[in-house]
Structure formats: C-alpha cells, structure tokens
Amino acid sequence: APTIRRTEFMPLPWTVLRVDLHFSLHPEATVVTSRLACVRNRAVDAGALVLDGDELETLALTIDGCDPQPGTVRRSASRIELDIDGDEAELEIVTRINPRANSTLSGLYQSRGGYFTQCEAEGFRRITWFPDRPDVMARFTVTVEGERASCPVLLSNGNLVEEGELPDGRHYARWEDPFPKPCYLFALVAADLVVLERRELTASGREVLLQVWVEAGNLDRAGHAMDALVHAMRWDEETFGLELDLDRYMIVAVSDFNMGAMENKGLNIFNTKYVLAKPDTATDADYEHIESVVAHEYFHNWTGNRVTCRDWFQLTLKEGLTVFRDQQFSADMLAAAAGAEAAASARAVKRIDDVRVLRAAQFPEDAGPMAHPIRPDSYQEINNFYTATVYEKGAEVIRMLHTLLGPEGFRNGMDLYFSYHDGSAVTCDDFVEAMSEANGRDLDQFMLWYSQAGTPRVKAEGVWDGAAGSYLLTVSQYTPPTPGQAEKQALVIPLAIGLIGPDGEDRPLQLEGEAHPGGTTRVLELSSESRQWRFVGLDAEPVPSLLRGFSAPVILEVEEDDARLAFRMAHDADACNRWDAAQRYAERVLLALAAAAADGRAMAVPQGFVDAFARLLRDQRLDAAFRAQALSLPAEAYLLERMQPADPAALRAAQIHLGMTLGSMLADDLRALVEGLVEPAEYRYHPADAGRRALINLALRYLCAARDARGVALAAQRFAEAGNMTDRFGALAALVHGAVAEAEGALAAFYRRYRDDALVLDKWFALQAGMWRRDPAAPPTLARVRALLADAAFSLANPNKVYALLGSFFRANPAEFHLPDGSGYALWAEQVIALDAANPQVAARMARALENWRRFTPALQAAMRPQLERVRDAEGLSADVGEIIDKALA
C-alpha cells in the first residue's frame, strides 16, 4: 500500500455544503441515494471534484441532473474525479451495498439482525461516493427506510423531523443534523431496540433528551451508562463551560464493534461492553470503564466534533485532548465519591491506573518498529494509528501543558481555542498556539512533543553538602533513536519533585537565590540537555522524590538502593511515587529472579522486599484501593520491555516464585485481611467499596498462588457465595491463576451460570487464555486456547470474542504464547490470516502482538521470523496487516 505523508496535505478544490442521504435498507442490497451540494474552495485555484469510494456498486451519477460530459470523468475502484465548469454543482449518486456481507464492521453492516454504521476513519466511502476527509464539513439530512418488523427503530444524527408508514411493512424516519460535520461522524442505526430515557436541563436551562438504546432484556443494565452521561454533561459545564448543543443525545449499544465506542454527532455507537452493567454481570473495573468511555465520547462533542481534525495526522488533537479530559473527569468523580479525606488518594489511584496503561502499552510501542510521534509523519493505513501513542501519550502531552500553564491558564487556552476554531477542522499547531497566546508563553520548543517519537530517559543525581545544608540536583535528558528519527532534540519536561527528610516528612523547597521556601512539591522545568538546581536550608540529607504524579511521560533513571526504595515505599508523600517505589523494587527483584532462572541458579527473594511489602499490606491508614495498587506487581508487558533480551519463560518462573514466596510468608496477614474487611451487603459502585474488593481479590490471588489450603478454601467459598461479579470473578481468577484443584470446577460452574451472557463469557474466555502453567507437566495453555476456538460460544466474527481469547493469549500471557517450539506463533499466523480475510482492522490489532519480536531471545526470534514471513506472504493480505508486518520485518 502507498505511504501517505503529513507534509503532502493539500486543501481540496471542491467541498460539500449539504448532503441529503436516502437509505433503502435491505440486508444484501441496500440502495443509498446521495445528493451533494458542492462548491469550489475559493482558496484553491482550480481542480477536479474528487470522490472516494470503497467496494461500491455505482448505479447512477449525475451532475446538475445530467450525465457527466464525455472526457470529464476519471474513475477507478476507489476514486472518481469530475471536471466541472462553474463554481457550484449538485451531484446525485446512487450506490448499492451489501451490509450482510460486510464483515469488516466498517461502513454499513449488520449485527444481530440490525443495521449499524462505523465511519471513522474512512468508512463513509464504503457507503457512498464522497470526499471522505475530515476537513469537508457538511450539513446532513438523512432518510432511513426499512422493514418495521426487524427494524422498528430508525436513527441517525441530529433531530427527528418526520416519520411514517410505507407499503409492504416498511416505514421511514427523517433526521436533520443542524451542525456541519465531517462524514466520519455520520451514523445510522436501524434495529430492534428499547430505550432508557431521561430529560435534563443544561446549564443555560435548555431541556435535552438523553437516550440509551439497548436490546430488549438489557434495560436493567443501561442505568449506569445513563448516570455516567449525566455526570459527564455536568462536569463539562462546570469544568470547561461547555454545554450540550443538541436537543437529543443518543447512545446505542451494539454487540459487534471493532473498538470501544464512537462519538458520531448526537448518535454515539458503543460496544455493548462499554454500556451494559449490573452488579451480577459487571465488575467494578467494568463500571469504571463504562463511566470513562461514556464521558470520553460525550467530551468529543466539543473536542472532536465542534472542532475537528484537518487531516488524520492530527488525530491526537481530538484523542489526546479527549483522553486527558476523561482522565480528569474520572479523577474528579472518584474524589467526589471518596469524600474530602480520601479524595487525594482516590485521585492518585486513578493516576496510577493511567500510568500503568502507558507503561504497559505505550512504552513498548515507542520502543519498537511502530514507534511514531503523537502526530505521525506518515502512515499506510490510518486505522493502524489509533494507538496508545496517539491516545495515551497524547493525553500525557496535554497533561504537561496543564501542569506548565496551571488549571486557569489551561482553561483560558481552551476558551481561546474554541473562540477561534469552533466549527472548523484544524491542526495540533492551532491548539498549541491558542494555549500559547492565552498564556503569553512561547511553546515552540514544547511542540517537539508532537514531532519526536521515543520515550525520553531522564537521569537525576543529587549531591549533599552537609556543611552548607544544600542539595545539588543534576538532571539530564536523552531520547534514544527511533525508526526514521536518529537525532533527538531536548524537550520541555516538567519535573515535579519533593525532598523527603530522614524522618519521612517532606521538607519545604527553597532554591538558591530564593528568599523563602515555597511548598513541598514543585515543578522544575528541564528544557535543555542537562541542568542543575541547588536546594538550600536543609537540616539533613534528603531523599529526592522525582517525577511526582508522573509529571512527564518519561523513564526516570535514578540510582536508588533497596533501602532507599523501601524508605520511599513507606514514606513518600506523593502516592503515585510511593506506588512507583514499590514497582521499582518489585521490578528489580523480579528481573534478578528471572536472571537466576535463566541461568539455572536458585531463586531467592530478598527479605527486605518481603518486609517492605508486608509493611504496606499491614498499614491500615492507607486506603484499600491504594494498597491494592501498591501490592500488585508490574505488568508483564512492561517487565519484558525492561529485560535484555526478553525471556518470557524466565520472567514467568520469577513471577511464580515471587508470588508463592509472598503468599506463603504473609499468609496469616492475607487471610486476616480477607476475613477482616467487611463488605456492605448490597453492591454499589463506589470507590471505597471497590477498593476493598480489589484488595481482597488481590489477597486471594497471593494465597492461591502459594497454594495456602485455608486461603484456597476462602477463595472457593467466596466464589460460591459471591453477591456480585467483582467478588465472583475475583475469586474465580484467584483459583484459576493459582491452578489449584478447585479451578476447573469453578470455571465450569461459571460457564453454566452465564452461558447465555456474551459479555460475561468474554471474561471466561480471557481468564482461560491467560492461564499460567505452574506444573510443567500440565498441558500448555495453547491446547486450551485451541479447544476454546472451537467452543460453541466462540466466534471469530465477533471482535469482543477475538480480543478476549486471542488478544489475551497473545498479549497477556507471554510465557504460554512464546513457547520454545514456536507452536504459539503458528497459531498466531493462522489466526491473523483467517481474521484478515474478514476483518482487517481486528486482524491488524492481533498482528501487532509480534511486532517487538526482535527484543526476544535469539531462539524465540528464530521461531518467530518464519511465521511473520508466512503472514507477509499470505495471499490477498490487507494493507492493515501488511503495514504492521512490513514494519516489523524491516
């Protein structure tokens, strides 16, 4: 596939002002009639009107009611160019498409008898010919016509303006969206659904209708999404002064969906996974994800829809900013629910979650063949660039602006951004310029965060001068080369820091030359390769706490011995750094154990680590959610990234050994904790309750890992008696993870109970795909995964099932996937090829599981290469998968 480059952007000679669409829905032959009011773009001298199309059967095309003049049309399967005289033209295009055969889930497709669309990034061209670019913003009216019996509900963007009956059991509805929008925000739903409704007043007193549409039988699972929507509305009004601009806002849940959700104007379409929840089927984590995804899509209405992207290279303009907004929203919601005293800790727990995701997903991406800046310079398939870098690192970049400018400065920048750009399609430069102008601050160097790929390393060293009572901190930065970017420049890095005294208390921070100390956490700005700061007025040598709150998306390299890590684990006033100290200590211990395992030496866990771990476990003053975070070991994906070379088997041996050691040495404490934390009888989604449940489930995990008989019995009992999914699944996961005798029976019981519940079965698939082998004689997890592929409840056509079973196996179970005989890779190649024939986007996501293959041991690399080549050489490979494999093999 050709490479598209950011610098090659050109404005179009023609644009579209109004679109009038008519859909005559039939499963295998839907006819789409499109009327386009087109005008020349005055800013461009001359040129043809260009339309994009993909797999369309064109039945008619007229310009101002006439067939195009001979010689004025150039056609290919994916493009039509029309030479038109004059400055205006009315096009009428009739296409026929086959929603039933559309297994890509892009464009118009069927799911469980209903019709749904997904147009971002380039799905609209699979519906009708159109200039399919985000900088073409038009007013849409849509008439949907379909069978009443199978599709009683007919929805599109905006306001319902007309509906009525038609002959032959058909009916229609006409929708009008008052706001101009790019075609990627178009949506249509025609299905058999029921609705949960609520009327709310916006801040300015306008009444709006909120709807959550689900399949019959699921209404009792829609309430949480509705609450989340109302909370998101209020939060955006209060935090950014942004109101809902529509009279009606709809969320529709669909079972077959490539990703999480889609922010179509006024008609969000959601994966059922991010809508449906009730205590018996959804875990606390599900509740939390639903709240944040509902909010994310809602926030897009301003950051994405009212102001959109000029081109797809600017994707982080809407995604990084909107992820940052949803992260802030979730933190505020958690803090409010936790109450004043626990608010700071609740915020920190959310921040820790976000940092975990960044480290486990984005850091590896930034260190591999797909490394790209948050604003990429080129792509072959844009759908491959909905990445952790664009989203999560993009959010970190916005967070740094927020840190550097302060909440008020940031808000002023947002206000200015909207005042300049509301209703248009803009670039990341436009956003940063608004921030810069509103704050009178030069952000030119900051823009390097948009153009440089790779995770910067920040090194810090301190020298204590006892006589002067001063501490000299030297900080330097370095970004390793990434594909296509050998040279890196110094970035602007906000470094939040504190100094901890020997008593564990933070010291006030006073820099040389300052008259007074100011605060105990301060943000230093590192904007050159290296810089020094001297802190004065100190009574004793401090322990530095650097990168507090994870103030920049960097890897901090600082020499700390075990004692100092244990000290920070016990005392760091910044909860995020306290957690990080525990992670660093655990990482050090695990990597040392793994090295021993790889060399066939005996593994020994340092007593100091067990003690530090025990102190956190026993500290009742710390809230449960924080303890659960601090006592969870770093993600395997992150640890593999830190290993040179990555050796999944050795790492797994280390993890098993550490888990067993902690579980058996601390069994009394862990059991006491499970028995001592009292839970309310009624389930409610609340951070305090969720924290207790998380800590109990973690304790059960350690106990089962250690095969502690009484601990296993506790897990089995909690599984049997659980009153909600968090407890039930937590206990089940502990049994399965520990591979104890009770595990198989519990898995079977779980299956029987939920056999008709697709979303719950996804958990059942994922849990088994992630199974560890504790007995080397036991059959490999691979055999189980193969068996599950043939399970009646599994389907390769449903993305959720693929992510649950194959995604979990390829990504979340490295030791079982990376088998030395290469059988895991053979499964990978076979499944990627099979998926690619039906759904390239999902196939490409699975393909990415092997992109960092060069980081593994030579023996594993040798087993991976032929399978990568097998996929590369597969017949009819999509551009999606092709790009991933080519980059991996390059």
| Token pair 């913003």 in the structure block, residue | 137
The beta strand positions in 227-299, using DSSP E, are 248-254, 261-262, 267-271
The beta strand positions in 304-347, using DSSP E, are 308-309
Smallest distance from ligand B3K to CB 11, Å: 23
> Of Zn ion, ligand B3K, none, which one sits near residue 625, judging by CB under 5 to 8 A according to partner kind?
none
Q: List contacts with Zn ion (CB under 5 A).
A: 319, 322
Nearer to ligand B3K, 578 or 845 (CB): 845
Q: Is 263 in the site for ligand B3K (CB under 6 A)?
A: yes
- Total number of residues that touch ligand B3K (CB under 6 A): 12
Q: Which two tokens stand for residue 721?
A: 């008696």
Q: Residue from 110, 157, 316, 383 that binds ligand B3K (CB under 6 A)?
A: 383
Class of residue 600 by CB neighbours under 10 A (exposed 0-12, middle 13-18, buried 19+) = exposed
Cα angle value 434/435/441 (rounded, 5°): 115
Q: Is 121 in the site for ligand B3K (CB under 6 A)?
A: yes
332-337: long-range contacts at Cβ-Cβ below 8 A with a sequence spacing of 24 or more? 332/235, 332/239, 333/231, 333/235, 333/291, 334/687, 337/686, 337/687, 337/688
> Of ligand B3K, Zn ion, none, which one sits near residue 262, judging by CB under 5 to 8 A according to partner kind?
ligand B3K
Q: Is 331 in the site for ligand B3K (CB under 6 A)?
A: no
Q: Residue from 16, 259, 597, 656 that binds ligand B3K (CB under 6 A)?
A: 259
Cα separation, 316 vs 428, whole angstroms: 8
Q: Is 585 in the site for ligand B3K (CB under 6 A)?
A: no
Q: Residue from 32, 127, 262, 815 that binds ligand B3K (CB under 6 A)?
A: 262
Q: Which two tokens stand for residue 447?
A: 């823009």
Nearer to ligand B3K, 36 or 842 (CB): 842
Q: Is 298 in the site for ligand B3K (CB under 6 A)?
A: no
Pairing of β 107-111 and β 57-63: unpaired
Tell me the catalytic residues: 297
Smallest distance from Zn ion to CB 451, Å: 22
Q: Which stretch binds ligand B3K (CB under 6 A): 260-268, 534-542, 684-692, 699-707?
A: 260-268
Smallest distance from Zn ion to CB 448, Å: 24
Backbone φ and ψ of 235, nearest 5°: -65, -40
Smallest distance from ligand B3K to CB 784, Å: 31
Smallest distance from Zn ion to CB 637, Å: 22
Nearer to ligand B3K, 262 or 631 (CB): 262
Pairing of β 457-465 and β 493-500: unpaired
Cα separation, 661 vs 668, whole angstroms: 13
Q: How far out from the chain centre does Cα 769 lie?
A: 21
- Can you say whether the dihedral through the CA atoms of 869, 871, 872, 876 is positive or negative? positive
Task: Give the number of other Cβ atoms within 10 Å of residue 560's Cβ.
Answer: 17
| Token pair 């000679």 in the structure block, residue | 13
Q: Is the bond leading into 369 cis (omega within 30 degrees of zero)? A: no
| Token pair 């006024």 in the structure block, residue | 266
> Of Zn ion, ligand B3K, none, which one sits near residue 701, judging by CB under 5 to 8 A according to partner kind?
none
CA distances to 451, 604, 641, 737, 770 from 591, rounded to whole Å, are 33, 12, 11, 21, 21
Nearer to ligand B3K, 262 or 275 (CB): 262
What separation, in Å, do the N-terminal and C-terminal C-alpha atoms of the chain show? 15
Nearer to ligand B3K, 296 or 657 (CB): 296
Nearer to ligand B3K, 742 or 836 (CB): 836
- Can you say whether the dihedral through the CA atoms of 358, 361, 365, 367 is positive or negative? positive
Smallest distance from ligand B3K to CB 404, Å: 25
Smallest distance from ligand B3K to CB 274, Å: 10
Closest CA to 462 of 547, 517, 541, 550: 541
Smallest distance from Zn ion to CB 178, Å: 23
Q: Residue from 135, 177, 297, 883 that binds ligand B3K (CB under 6 A)?
A: 297
> Of ligand B3K, Zn ion, none, which one sits near residue 386, judging by CB under 5 to 8 A according to partner kind?
ligand B3K
- Can you say whether the dihedral through the CA atoms of 388, 393, 398, 402 is positive or negative? positive
568 and 581 in contact (C-beta within 8 Å)? yes
> Of Zn ion, ligand B3K, none, which one sits near residue 259, judging by CB under 5 to 8 A according to partner kind?
ligand B3K
Smallest distance from ligand B3K to CB 260, Å: 6
Q: Is the bond leading into 121 cis (omega within 30 degrees of zero)? A: yes
Q: Residue from 319, 326, 580, 836 that binds ligand B3K (CB under 6 A)?
A: 319
Q: Which stretch binds ligand B3K (CB under 6 A): 169-177, 200-208, 254-262, 635-643?
A: 254-262
Q: Is 739 in the site for ligand B3K (CB under 6 A)?
A: no
Q: Which two tokens stand for residue 117?
A: 């669309």
Smallest distance from ligand B3K to CB 489, Å: 30
Q: Is 120 in the site for ligand B3K (CB under 6 A)?
A: yes
Smallest distance from ligand B3K to CB 395, Å: 11
> Of ligand B3K, Zn ion, none, which one sits near residue 845, judging by CB under 5 to 8 A according to partner kind?
none
Q: Which two tokens stand for residue 436?
A: 């810069």
Q: Which stretch binds ligand B3K (CB under 6 A): 36-44, 269-277, 294-302, 725-733?
A: 294-302
Pairing of β 267-271 and β 248-254: parallel
Closest CA to 771 of 651, 641, 652, 630: 652
Q: Is 325 in the site for ligand B3K (CB under 6 A)?
A: no
Q: Can you state the angle between helices 284-300 and 223-240, rounded to 10 degrees?
A: 50
Nearer to ligand B3K, 107 or 814 (CB): 107
> Of ligand B3K, Zn ion, none, which one sits near residue 121, judging by CB under 5 to 8 A according to partner kind?
ligand B3K
Residue 779 DSSP label:
P
* Interacting residues of 10 by C-beta distance below 8 A, sequence separation 6+: none
Q: Is 576 in the site for ligand B3K (CB under 6 A)?
A: no
Nearer to Zn ion, 268 or 545 (CB): 268
Cα separation, 617 vs 277, whole angstroms: 31
153 and 250 in contact (C-beta within 8 Å)? no
Smallest distance from ligand B3K to CB 103, Å: 16
Three-state secondary structure call for residue 625? helix
Nearer to Zn ion, 354 or 647 (CB): 354
> Of ligand B3K, Zn ion, none, which one sits near residue 578, judging by CB under 5 to 8 A according to partner kind?
none
> Of Zn ion, ligand B3K, none, which one sits near residue 697, judging by CB under 5 to 8 A according to partner kind?
none
Nearer to Zn ion, 182 or 663 (CB): 182
Smallest distance from ligand B3K to CB 787, Å: 31
Nearer to ligand B3K, 145 or 297 (CB): 297
Q: Is 296 in the site for ligand B3K (CB under 6 A)?
A: yes
What residues pair up with 139 in beta bridges, in sequence order?
A: 18
Q: Which stretch binds ligand B3K (CB under 6 A): 136-144, 255-263, 556-564, 775-783?
A: 255-263
Closest CA to 370 of 844, 848, 867, 881: 848
Closest CA to 143 of 115, 171, 119, 167: 171
Nearer to ligand B3K, 319 or 727 (CB): 319
Q: Is 386 in the site for ligand B3K (CB under 6 A)?
A: yes
Alpha-carbon radius of gyration of the chain:
28
> Of Zn ion, ligand B3K, none, which one sits near residue 627, judging by CB under 5 to 8 A according to partner kind?
none
Nearer to ligand B3K, 120 or 708 (CB): 120
> Of ligand B3K, Zn ion, none, which one sits near residue 771, judging by CB under 5 to 8 A according to partner kind?
none
Cα separation, 561 vs 232, whole angstroms: 44
Residues that bind ligand B3K (CB under 6 A): 120-121, 259, 261-263, 296-297, 300, 319, 383, 386
